Amino acid sequence: MTRALALLAIVATFAAPALAHEAAPRAGAVAFALPEPGSYELPPIAHVADFALQDETGASASLLDLAPDQVAIVSFVYTHCSDGRGCPAALAVLQRLDRAVAADATLASRVRIATVSFDPAHDTPVRMAELRRAMAPRSQWRFLTAPTPLAIAPVLAAFGQDALPLVGDGEHALGLYRHVLKVFLVDASGAVRNVYSSGFLSPELVLVDARTVLQTEIATLAGATGR
């Protein structure tokens, strides 16, 4: 079994309730009432550049590559991750988000999803292609990596995404990382508008936030063109 398929098996287990616990909530279930889109504001938290990375074919690809009326949802993972509270949880939620976006004609053209590996030494374009096939995206969901660990470092720093390699006896690299699950909502200007961790990561919340940011972007565009 490839690493991507092994990770998918964990994703599937995490995303669906066990038969013996049918009342258990799915990954990313909302435990609170969601506000109406546009009824609140999401001020910029930080700004990030549009870094050049690699897609699953090995070609150069921009991390964001957004039009003025689009937003990006960015998540950092690595395919060796076996912690159900980490990368598999993020991928399970993003897969549900991908399906919801694809089913909405307006969102399908305005929401882009990017899963980025912070372990490019192992997560080559070939491996990211395996992950893409396993996740079977229906929306604009891209799977990106970098040519070297040095190349991904400024991306992680800009987003504030921790990824600490773990070492064993004699400083031997274990191929594992200590990291915190984070998913980022980024607008067309590169402003990070929200950051979701395990306690607040749900497709429903991300979509409400995305619609709120998109309403602001579209209103700004309309004002700039006088329409």
The DSSP line for 133-186 is HHH---SEEEEEB-SSHHHHHHHHHHHT---EEEE-GGG-EEEEEE----EEEE
Question: Is beta strand 111-117 parallel, antiparallel or unpaired with respect to 71-77?
Answer: parallel
- pLDDT, one tens digit per residue, over 93-114 is 999 999 999 999 999 999 999 9
Residue 18 pLDDT > 50, yes or no? no
Give the C-alpha separation, 183 to 138, whole Å.
19
Question: How much is the pTM?
Answer: 0.84
pLDDT per position as a tens digit, 112-128: 999 999 999 999 999 99
CA distances from 61 to 49, 66, 114, 176 (A): 13, 12, 11, 26
pLDDT at 163 > cutoff 80: yes
Q: Which segment of 12-21, 41-50, 116-125, 211-220 scores lowest on mean pLDDT?
A: 12-21
Return left, alpha or beta for 175; rule: phi > 0 is left, psi -120 to 50 is alpha, else beta.
Answer: left
Query: What average pLDDT score do residues 176-204 get?
Result: 91
Q: Is the pLDDT of residue 145 over 70?
A: yes
Domains, the chain, ordered by start: 3-16+40-225 (3.40.30.10)
How does pLDDT run across 38-52, given as a tens digit for each residue? 999 999 999 999 999
Both structure tokens of 131: 């992950």
Instruction: Provide the mean pLDDT of the chain.
Output: 85
